[in-house]
Amino acid sequence: MVIDTSPFYGGMDNFDRVFNELWGPLNISQRKVAYPPLNISEDTDAIYVRCEIPGVNIEDIDLTFTDSTLVIKGERKIEKGKYFRQERPTGHFQRVVNVNAPIVVDQVKAIAKDGLLEIRLPKSEDTKPRKISIDLQ
C-alpha cells in the first residue's frame, strides 16, 4: 500500500473546482443538477415522465420520441429587468430519457398543468404481464 503525503496531492482538483465555480459560464447546460428535474414512474399500463417546467411557455417545448428515446427540449426565456439576485436558470435545456420497454408511439400523450409536464408512454401489450394457466396431467 502506498500513502502519498505530498502537500500538493489533490490540491489542483480543489483549485480547479473553485476556479470553475467562480468564473465558469452560468447557463443551464453546465449546471451540476440536470434541468428540468424529472421523475420517472410506471404502472402496468404505462411509463410516466413528470418534469417541472414553471415559467416555460408550452410553445417553447419540443417533445420527440424515437427509437426508445424521449427527448425533452425547450427554452426558459430571460425576463427583462435589473436583477439583484438570479437563482432561477434561463436558457436552452434538453433532457434525454431512455425507455427500455416497447411503447405504443401513436398513443403517447403529454399534459402541462401548473408548471408540471406529464408525459404518458403506454406500454405495448407484449410487455404487460400475462397469467399462465397450469394444466394437470
Task: Supply the CATH number for residue 43's domain.
Answer: 2.60.40.790
- The band of 20, judged by pLDDT with boundaries at 50, 70 and 90, is low
Q: Is residue 57 part of a domain?
A: yes
Q: Is residue 17 part of a domain?
A: yes
Number of domains making up the chain: 1
3-class DSSP string for 10-26: CHHHHHHHHHHHHHCCC
Q: Which of 11-15, 25-29, 47-51 has the lowest mean pLDDT?
A: 25-29
Give the integer Cα–Cα distance in Å for 124 and 106: 11
Give the integer Cα–Cα distance in Å for 109 and 70: 12
In the prediction, which pLDDT does 100 show?
87
Q: Is residue 137 part of a domain?
A: no
Residue-range definition of the domain harbouring residue 101 = 11-127
Q: Give pLDDT tens digits for 41-87.
A: 999 899 999 999 998 989 999 999 988 899 999 998 888 888 888 88
In the prediction, which pLDDT does 85 show?
84
